Structure 1
Amino acid sequence: MKRYLLGILIFSFSIVSHAELTSDEKRVVNAVENRFSEQVTFLERVVNLNSGTLNVKGVKEVGAVFQKEFDRLGFETQWIDMPSSMKRAGHLIATKRFGPGPHVLLIGHIDTVFEPDSPFQSFSVDGNTAKGPGISDMKGGDVTALYALQALIESTSLNKGTVTVFFTGDEESVGKPLELARKDLIEAGKRADVALNFEGGSEGWAVIGRRGSSSWSLEVTAKQAHSSGIFRDSVGAGAVFEMSRVLNRIYGEVRGEFGLTFNPGIIAGGTSIEQGNAKTTQTVSGKTNVVAQKAIMHGGLRFMNEDQKERARLAMRKIAEDSLPHSQSVMTFEDRYPAMEETEANKALLAKLNVLHADLGVEEAKSFPPERRGAADISFIAPYVTSMDGLGVSGSGAHAPGETMEIDSMLFATQRAAVFIKRLLEQN
Structure 2
Amino acid sequence: MISVNRNWARQALATGLLFVLSQSCLAAVDIEKKITQHIDKSLADSASLLEKTVNINSGTMNFDGVKKVGALYQAEFDAMGFETQWVDGEEFNRAGHLVASFGSTGPKILMIGHLDTVFAKDDAFQNYKRIDDNHVAGPGITDMKGGDVIIIAALKALKELDLLDKVSVKVVMTGDEESSGSPLSLSKKALIDAAIWADIALGFEDADGDIKTAVVARRGSIGWQLDVTGKPAHSSQIFTDTIGYGAIFEVARILNTFREELAGVGNITFNPGLIAGGTEVTVQPENSIVQGFGKTNVVAKEVTVKGGIRTLTPEELTKAKNLMQDIATRSLPHTSATLTFEEGYPPMAPTEQNYALLKMYSDVSESLGYGPVEPVNPRNAGAADISFAADHVDMAIDGLGLMGEGGHTKDEIADMTSFAQNIHKAAVLIYRLGENWASMGE
Give the shorter-chain TM-score range.
over 0.9
Gaps of 5+ in 1: 1-18
> Where does residue 110 of structure 1 map in the other structure?
115
Deviations 1:374-412 (A, max 9, x none): 100101111111111010111122222242212221111
What's 1:160 paired with? Answer: 166
- Does residue 419 (structure 1) correspond to residue 424 (structure 2)? The answer is no
Q: Tell me if structure 1 keeps the 8 A contact 2:50–2:146.
A: yes
Asked whether 1:392 is paired with 2:398, we answer no
Amino acid at match of 2:94: R
Q: Which residue of 2 aligns with 1:370?
A: 378
User: 2:87 matched to 1:90?
Assistant: no
Aligned-partner Cα distance in 2 for 1:124–1:220: 48
**How far 1:279 sits from its partner (Å)?**
6.6
1:231 aligned onto 2:231: no
Q: Say yes or no: does 1:179 pair with 2:185.
A: yes
Contact 2:184 2:343 in 1 (8 A): no
Q: Distance in 2 between matches of 1:255 and 1:402?
A: 31
Relative to structure 1, the CA distance from residue 260 to residue 78 in structure 2 (aligned partners, 3 Å threshold; closer, same or farther) is same
Matching of residue 100 in structure 1 with residue 105 in structure 2: yes
Q: Is the CA contact (8 Å cut-off) linking 2:112 and 2:172 kept in structure 1?
A: yes
Amino acid at match of 1:47: V
Q: What do the CA deviations read for 1:6-59 (whole angstroms, capped 9, x no partner)?
A: xxxxxxxxxxxxx99522221111110111111111111111111111110111
Residue pair 1:109, 1:139 contacting (<8 A) in 2 also: yes
CA distance, structure 2, for counterparts of residue 249 and residue 408 of structure 1: 47
Name the residue aligned to 2:301: 293
Give runs of ≥4 in structure 1 deviating > 4 Å: none
Unaligned runs of 5+ in 2: 1-25
1:379 maps to which of 387, 391, 402: 387
In 2, Cα distance between equivalents of 1:324 and 1:188: 49
1:355 and 2:363 matched: yes
Question: Relative to 1, partners in 2 of residues 1:202 and 1:243: Cα closer, same or farther, differing over 3 Å?
Answer: closer
The answer (yes or no) to whether the contact 1:224–1:293 under 8 Å persists in 2 is yes
Distance 1:208 1:20 in 2: 31
Tell me, what secondary structure is at the counterpart of 1:341?
A: coil
Q: Answer whether contact 2:346 2:387 (CA < 8 A) is retained.
A: yes
Compare CA radii of gyration and give the structure with the larger one. Answer: 2
Of 331, 336, 349, the residue aligned with 2:344 is 336
Q: Give the direction of change, closer, same or farther, for the CA distance of 1:271–1:239 in structure 2 (3 Å limit).
A: same
- Whole-Å separation in 1 of the counterparts to 2:100 and 2:287: 36
Which letter does structure 2 place at the counterpart of 1:42? L
Secondary structure, in 3 states, of the residue corresponding to 1:174? Answer: coil
Residue 5 of structure 1: aligned partner = none
Which stretch has the larger CA shift, 393-402 or 210-219? 393-402
Cα distance, 1:361 vs structure 2: 2.3
What's the secondary structure of 1:22's corresponding residue?
helix
Whole-angstrom CA distance in 1 between matches of 2:210 and 2:431: 20
Range that drifts further, 358-367 or 144-153: 358-367
The answer (yes or no) to whether the contact 2:172–2:190 under 8 Å persists in 1 is no
In structure 2, the CA distance between the partners of 1:289 and 1:68, relative to structure 1 (3 Å rule), is same
Q: State the distance in 2 between where 1:137 and 1:217 align.
A: 28
Q: For 1:52 and 1:215, locate their aligned partners in 2 and report how far apart those are by CA, in whole Å.
A: 21
Q: Report if the CA contact (8 A) 1:221-1:327 is conserved.
A: yes
* 8 Å contact kept, 1:104–1:424: no
In structure 2, do the counterparts of structure 1 residues 249 and 158 end up closer, same or farther at CA, with 3 Å as the change threshold? closer
Instruction: String of CA shifts for 1:100-119, please: whole Å, max 9, x gaps.
Output: 21100100011112222122
Change (3 A) 1:286 1:203: closer
Question: C-alpha displacement at 1:367, in angstroms?
Answer: 0.3
From 26, 37, 41, the equivalent of 2:44 is: 37
Give, in whole Å, the separation in 2 of the partners of 1:123 and 1:316.
Answer: 44
Could you tell me which of 414, 418, 421 is aligned with 1:409?
Answer: 418
- Cα distance in structure 2, aligned partners of 1:127 and 1:161: 36
Instruction: Give 1:263's match in structure 2, choosing from 248, 271, 283.
Output: 271
Report if aligned partners of 1:57, 1:89 keep a CA contact under 8 Å in 2.
yes
Q: What is the SS of the residue equivalent to 1:278?
A: helix
* Structure 1: distance between partners of 2:411 and 2:297: 49
Correspondent of 1:55 among 40, 57, 62: 62
Letter in 2 for 1:360: L
Aligned to 2:148: 142
Farther-moved stretch of structure 1 (374-383 vs 119-128)? 119-128
Which TM-score applies when normalising by structure 2? 0.89
CA contact (8 A) 1:24 1:156 kept: no
Deviations 1:241-282 (A, max 9, x none): 111111111111222213111111111111111111337212
Residue range with higher mean Cα deviation, 113-122 or 167-176? 113-122
Change (3 A) 1:246 1:402: closer
Distance 1:24 1:147 in 2: 17
Map 1:200-279 to 2 at 5 A: 200=206, 201-278=209-286
- Aligned counterparts of 1:264 and 1:277: Cα–Cα separation in 2: 15
Identify which of 57, 76, 85 aligns with 1:78.
Answer: 85
Greater shift in the superposed pair: 88-97 or 404-413: 404-413
Deviations 1:64-89 (A, max 9, x none): 111011011010000000126x4311
Contact 1:107–1:166 (CA under 8 A) maintained in structure 2:
yes
Number of residue pairs the alignment of both structures matches = 408
Give the conservation status (yes or no) of the 8 Å contact 1:304–1:371: no
Say whether the 8 Å CA contact 1:273–1:283 is kept in structure 2: yes
Deviation at 1:210, TM superposition (A): 0.7
SS of the equivalent of 1:419 reads helix
Mean CA deviation greater in 366-375 or 116-125: 116-125
Q: Note the alpha carbon deviations across 1:94-151, whole angstroms, 9 max, x for none.
A: 0001x42110010001111222212222222221212221111111110011010000
* Amino acid across the alignment from 1:107: I
State the percentage of identical aligned residues: 46
Deviation per residue, 1:274-318 (Å, 9 max, x gap): 111337212221122221111111111111111011111111111
Distance 1:404 1:154 in 2: 31
Which amino acid is 2:291 matched to? Answer: T
- The alignment partner of 1:93 has SS state of strand
Q: Which amino acid aligns with 1:197?
A: G
